Amino acid sequence: MYERDGKKYFVFESHTAHWDGSPANQANRYGEGFINCFYDFHRNLSPTEWVWPLEKFQKFPVEVLHSELFDRGYADKAVLQTVNLWDFYHQGFSTADRHGAIAEAYPGDFLVNGAFDPRAGEPGLDKLEAEHERWNFQGVKLYTASWYGESKGYSLSDPWSYRYLAKSQELGIRNIHVHKGPTVYPLNKDAFDVADVDDAATAFPELRFIIEHVGMPRIEDFCWIATQETNVYGGLSVLMPFLHARPKYFGQVLSELLFFLGEDRLTFGSDFPLWHPKWLIEKFFDFEMPEDVVADYGITLTDEARRKIVGLNAAALYDIEVPAECRLPETETAEADAVVGAEPVSPVAVA
Amino acid sequence: MRSEQTIDSETRLWHALASVLDPELDRPITELEFVTEARISEAGVRVRLRLPTYFCAPNFAFMMVADAYDAARGVVGDGTYIDVALLDHFASEQINSGVAAQNGFGDAFGHEALDELVELRAVFRRKAHTASVDRVARALLRGGSDLDELHGVRLGDIAESEDLERLRRRRDELGLPRGPGALLLLDDRGRPVDRDGVENHLRFARSVRVSAEWNRGFCQSLLHTRYDEPATPQAS
């Protein structure tokens, strides 16, 4: 819960994990390169006082995960996003089983998301079902640009992807988080391609596709897909730290997202421990859209929009009941900021 | 002993490398500080490159290394040994040996990759063009032009600027009209934008430009974080 000026805001952490990137777990140079890459992102965009030593960043205690997110980081709920990387790490990077154990250790605080790779074929479907049976996923995290044997990547609209999405829907796994963002992975050209989201979202209108990192660096392609597909959402981790590093860029990109998706389909994530939610949330509430950006887009960042982004939107995706004092006022009407010049491309979707 | 000739050749080498663009960031690799070494000696040409992350896309990386090789070849001609290498990248070995053997990306990484680079270059040239349109259009809008005027404005009507010059160069690359009579608002296939489509065209162009600028800023600062200090150019 974040409090400011007498108001309370429900905080839903939609992107975090507990990982083991330590040298002991690194299976090869890819494992080493992967965590070091993350560490560069961490160092590059964090205020100096928030930078961790490499050793801690590679592997930190579960207690630290919980206290940083919930005691310092204002979280009311957090989703642990599973990232296996069996080829890089002996015991996997951040696995469903380890996440599940953490969720059980802190009842009510964490949700666990699974992960699948459609190239695993039929056995993978069974595994998904079994893991869901054990951990009760409401979502999964996918990396379409990962290498798998000879394959350099897959598309969400491949036949096997559709089998897995259909299975997910059948099991009640409704939130499909797809990594479409900066490269931290061996990848092919398709990593940057968000077009497959379009097809999958159309084919599965009951599922929600949360595109993590908002397709960076293809945010323009992402925006143009998401404006038409009302079940496509933008996950803001990786954009958030620019509040500190380059607030002007933050303002411009957020304006693009608000323009094309509206305030109901954007979700806050810190990607902790990459960036710490305490400073992200505080700076997000401090942030004022630069005047020239407002003049350009005709969009200001309202209190209601902030409230939705840091908690209400994701709480709705995960069926989390939000305390009364954190909800929108009953008399809330649709935003109608004065627009200079541009009209929205299409009606803003209401979640 | 470095002769005048060597120094002169290294300057030409540096300028040749400056013609190599990061296809995504649309800036010269020299300006981006990706070039850490560019030397000519009796042994031949030696160029060393680096990137913001260990996992930067191997296809982009390959393109840059291959283009750097071609740039160097243009300076020294056939017969001189050229050693171009990318450092600190997960696919360094494959890329470096692939380029050295003058193989394509496909041979270095598998046949399915081969066609992508041609297409990928085209994608980025189109994006660079679109971002250029945004920059020129927005200057006109700031100057008081309205959408009707933008719809009909031709390149010859527009005051000279770096942005306009860059737009013309992008049009050259794509084989699109670039003379004084050419419309500003052409799509990337060279078709005039309908008056109805002007707003959307400009919105998309703005998104492309914002996206590219964000990406460029991110990559440049990541590079500095990774290497702690800017590269020292070996040639001025």
| B216 neighbourhood in chain A, CB within 8 Å | none
Neighbours of A207 (CB within 10 A): 18
CA closest to B57 among chain A residues: A187
**Residues ≥6 apart with Cβ < 8 Å to A145:** A153, A179, A183, A185, A187, A188, A190, A191
One-letter amino acid at A61 equals P
| A182 neighbourhood in chain B, CB within 8 Å | 53, 218
pLDDT at A134: 96
pLDDT at B6: 78
pLDDT at A187: 42
CA–CA dist A235, A267 (Å, integer): 5
Q: What is the ipTM of this complex?
A: 0.83
Q: What is the bridge-based pairing of β-strands A12-16 and A139-142? A: unpaired
Nearest to B217 among A183, A191, A249 (CB): A249
pLDDT at B229: 59
Shortest distance, CA B115 to any CA of chain A (angstroms) = 11
| Residue A157: both structure tokens together | 């609209």
CA–CA dist B217, B221 (Å, integer): 6
**Residues ≥6 apart with Cβ < 8 Å to A73:** A11, A13, A270, A272, A276, A277, A278, A281
pLDDT at A57 exceeding the cut of 90: yes
CA B188 to each of CA A116, B116, B175, B195: distance values in angstroms, whole numbers, following the listed order: 38, 19, 10, 16
Residue A89's DSSP bridge partners are: A26
A108: left (phi over 0), alpha (psi -120 to 50) or beta: left
CA–CA dist B185, B150 (Å, integer): 7
CA–CA dist A164, A117 (Å, integer): 8
| Residue A208: both structure tokens together | 């929600």
CA A183 to each of CA A26, A144, A168, B36, B56: distance values in angstroms, whole numbers, following the listed order: 19, 12, 26, 22, 6
Interface test with A, best of B89, B146, B150, B207 (most A CBs within 10 A): B207
Quote the DSSP letter at residue B220. H
The interface residues of chain A toward chain B in range 134-163, judged by CB-CB distance below 8 A, are: 150, 152
pLDDT at A144 exceeding the cut of 60: yes
pLDDT at A107 exceeding the cut of 80: yes
Interface of B with A (CB under 8 A): 24, 53-59, 90-91, 109-110, 112-113, 116, 120, 199-200, 203-204, 206-208, 210-215, 217-218, 221-222, 224-226
pLDDT at A192: 58
Interface test with A, best of B25, B117, B213, B214 (most A CBs within 10 A): B214
For range A130-150, the mean pLDDT: 89
| A187 neighbourhood in chain B, CB within 8 Å | 55, 57-58
Write out chain B's pLDDT in tens, 236 residues.
678 887 899 999 999 999 999 988 889 999 999 999 999 999 999 999 999 988 888 888 888 999 999 999 999 988 899 999 999 998 899 899 988 888 666 666 665 454 557 777 888 889 999 999 999 999 999 999 999 999 999 999 999 999 999 999 999 989 999 999 999 999 888 999 999 999 999 999 999 999 989 888 888 888 988 898 544 333 33
Torsion of CA B168, B174, B176, B178, to 10 degrees: 10
Please check whether residue A266 is in contact with residue A236, taking contact to mean a CB–CB distance below 8 angstroms: yes
CA A302 to each of CA A177, A284, A287, A326: distance values in angstroms, whole numbers, following the listed order: 26, 11, 10, 15
pLDDT tens profile A182-234: 755 444 444 557 889 999 999 999 999 999 999 887 889 999 999 999 999 99
Per-residue buried b or exposed e for A12-28, using 16+ beta carbons within 10 Å of the residue's own CB: bbbbbbbbbbbeebbee
CB-CB under 8 Å, B225 with A43: yes
CA A225 to each of CA A136, A209, A258, B79, B82: distance values in angstroms, whole numbers, following the listed order: 30, 12, 14, 51, 45
CB-CB under 8 Å, B217 with A246: yes
For range A137-150, the mean pLDDT: 86
One-letter amino acid at A303 equals D
- Cα maximum dimension of chain A: 57
pLDDT tens profile A278-334: 999 999 999 999 999 999 999 999 999 999 999 999 999 999 999 999 999 875 544
CA closest to A150 among chain B residues: B110
pLDDT at B120: 77
Summary mean pLDDT of chain A: 90
Shortest distance, CA A299 to any CA of chain B (angstroms) = 14
pLDDT tens profile B75-128: 998 889 999 999 999 889 989 998 888 866 666 666 545 455 777 788 888 999
* Residue position matching structure tokens 């931290």: A184
Peptide bond into B230 cis (omega under 30): no
Q: How many CB pairs under 8 A join A and B?
A: 103
Interface test with B, best of A32, A154, A187, A220 (most B CBs within 10 A): A220
Shortest distance, CA A74 to any CA of chain B (angstroms) = 27
- Give pTM, 2 decimals: 0.88
pLDDT at B4: 81
pLDDT at A206: 97
pLDDT at B122: 85
DSSP-derived 3-state class of residue B122: helix
**Residues ≥6 apart with Cβ < 8 Å to A18:** A62, A65, A80, A94, A98, A99, A102
